[in-house]
Amino acid sequence: MVKVVLADDENKIILLMRKLIDWDKLGYEIVGTANDGLRALEMVQELQPQLLITDIRMPGCDGIDLIRRAKQVQPRLHCIVISGYRQFEYAQNAIKYGVEDYLLKPLKQEELEGILLRLKAKLGEEAAVELELQQSGERRQEQMLAALRRAADRRQPFMDAAQAEELFGLRLDGNQCFAALVKPDMTDSRMYPDGYRLLMQHTLEIVRREVQGVTGRYAAAVQREGVAVVLSVPSYQPVEIRRCFTKIRKEIEKQRDLFREIRSTVCLGSRRTCPEQLADSLREALWLCRDRLCRPQPWRDAESEPPAYAVRFQLDAARKKRIQEAGEYLDRDRLQQEIEDSCHELLQQEPLNGQMIEDWFRQVLAAAVYGMQQNGPVAEELAGRMEEQFWRCGSPQDILHLLRDDILKQAGQLLEEQSRREARPILEAKRYMQQHYQEALRLEDVSSAVGFNATYFSALFKKETGQNFMDYLTELRINKSKELLCRDALSVQDVAERVGYRDLKYFSRLFKKNTGVSPSDYKKLYR
């Protein structure tokens, strides 16, 4: 049995949690309850539970501090937090400490039970038969929706009803079917990837729970664009479908207590009579989902607003060339200006749709990457990571910030690498000069020693050191001569020869020019 401690300052919440779930059946044992954080911490120390379920706000110490201190006592402790307030910062801190999940008040049996079942699997114990069946079904749904997305991207028909049932176990024959996307947008989702991941998981659970009331023939899975859904119904009932998805949207937006400024959009593809056309329905839903960037509305339906596939955006050739050049020169100021100017031009387009924004995003990214690649390999995951982040943006400004920030960061990394590459031969050249300064060194000798053309090496040396080659060599020799002049046994002539000067007068003149005194006077001063 998995031992559990419940902590909440309200007794009625603890009683509710006790009654909501058949804990024994799921393999859990409630070994203690507490109404304040300090008492809960004592129970963790005394009873060594595997799971702590705690409210965020409690007397003694709050839930965040309790989790932190409890994990110091028991590092492998799993934690679930409960929130009933607008506590975004608290919740994000809890996620940072590795909480298993969170629950919003009022508590729902399905949510708590789902979390406990997932936790049992994670703890490595023998999962219940229901969980195994559920996970198997969920994997098949994920596979089906991934295949449907590929068909939509390639503009190919999806499989027929018999194939869909054989491969994925979903009957689609003799019904109307359609695809939909449920897209939650969360402020600062790029800053809180763990929070966004949890939000998407909860969205999927809400979708599955609610669509079951409409039809048992459905598939749902998290994709990068949102939660994708396919429904098959005997006959399409607009009022019932709208009521279902409106409830889904409202349930999602209740979670703004934890994630502030959540906005959700439901995008429906048009209804089809055969599964082969489902890819077209999903493609419509995807277009509407992109278009929320221009027209943020909670409900979009391809039946009433067909996608304008033909209206696209093409980056101006001169602008593209300037972005490529800025990328090639790793000129971050110019890159930023070109990206911002091109965004301003995009937003002046009439009509403007979300597909055009994605076109702009992809073309600017491709131009910048092409230019930066002239300086070295651009991080392979950059484009893929930015493609995924594109779908986490909720407005054109969010996408501008994503594009600008990530491209400038990549340019900065290439600049640092370029600087390191250029600094290496200069370090080798300095080391060579340290070893051979007594000889009649020429620029050509040193550049050849480090494998560079003399003209390029001279410019690179000046860029890296701030001195030309001869000034640096002179400074090196004079500094060495200072050390030698302090030795009683060496004359000025000996010192001059040891640092590479055969002409005593020339050496004396250089020494005085660099130090303000003659070699003889320096020797007298520092003997």
Token pair for residue 75? 């590092």
> Do 335 and 327 contact (CB within 8 A), yes or no?
yes
Please give the Cα distance from 455 to 22 (Å, whole number).
81
Tally Cβ neighbours within 10 Å of residue 250.
Answer: 12
Residue with tokens 């019904």: 175
CA distance 213 to 385: 36
**Bridge pairing between strands 51-55 and 2-7:** parallel
Q: Would you give per-residue pLDDT tens digits along the chain (527 residues)?
A: 889 999 998 899 999 999 988 999 888 999 999 999 999 999 999 898 999 999 888 888 888 889 888 988 888 889 998 876 655 566 666 666 668 788 888 888 888 888 888 888 777 654 444 445 455 678 889 999 999 999 999 999 999 988 888 888 888 877 899 999 999 998 877 777 888 888 899 999 999 999 998 998 999 999 999 999 999 998 899 999 999 999 999 999 888 767 768 899 999 999 999 999 999 999 999 999 999 999 999 999 999 999 999 999 999 999 999 999 999 889 999 999 999 999 999 999 999 999 999 999 999 999 999 999 887 778 777 888 898 899 999 999 999 999 999 999 999 988 888 777 777 888 888 888 988 989 888 999 899 888 888 888 888 888 888 889 999 999 999 989 988 888 767 889 999 999 999 899 999 999 999 889 999 888 888 76
H/E stretch holding 266: strand 262-268
| Closest by CA position to 247, among listed 211, 197, 300 | 211
Contact 240, 248 (CB under 8 A): no
**DSSP label at residue 379:** P
d(CA 485, CA 494): 9
Question: Which residues have a Cβ under 8 Å from the Cβ of 293 and sit 6 or more positions away?
Answer: 354, 357, 393, 394, 395, 396, 399
Find the length of the chain. 527
Question: What φ, ψ does residue 272 adopt, rounded to 5°?
Answer: -125, 160
The token duo for 15 is: 């009683």
CB atoms within 10 A of CB 512: 15
Rounded Cα gap, residues 184 and 428, in angstroms = 55
Q: Residue 92 has what pLDDT?
A: 66
Rounded Cα distance, 504 and 509, in Å:
9
Residue 441 CA, distance from chain mean position: 52
Q: Rounded to the nearest 5 degrees, what angle is found at the Cα of 113, between the Cα atoms of 111 and 119? A: 105
**Sign, Cα dihedral of 149, 154, 155, 159:** negative
- Neighbour tally for 59: CB within 10 Å: 11
Sequence-distant (6+) residues with CB within 8 A of 342 are 315, 316, 319, 323, 360, 364
Bridge partners of 232, per DSSP, are 177
Residue 272: DSSP 8-state: B
Do the Cβ atoms of 104 and 255 come closer than 8 Å? yes
Q: How far is CA 68 from the centre of its chain?
A: 25
Per DSSP, 277 falls in state: G
Hunting for tokens 């000069």 — which residue is that?
Answer: 433
Based on its alpha-carbon atoms, the radius of gyration of the chain, rounded to whole angstroms, reads: 34
| pTM of the full structure | 0.68
Q: Which residue has the tokens 């020429």?
A: 442
Q: Are 372 and 328 within 8 A, CB to CB?
A: yes
- Rounded to a whole number, what is the distance in angstroms from the first to the last CA of the chain? 85
Three-state SS for 50?
A: coil
Residues 178/269, Cβ–Cβ less than 8 Å: yes
Q: Please state, in angstroms and rounded to a whole number, the distance separating the CA atoms of residues 114 and 203.
A: 13
Beta strand 176-186 with 226-233: parallel, antiparallel or unpaired?
antiparallel
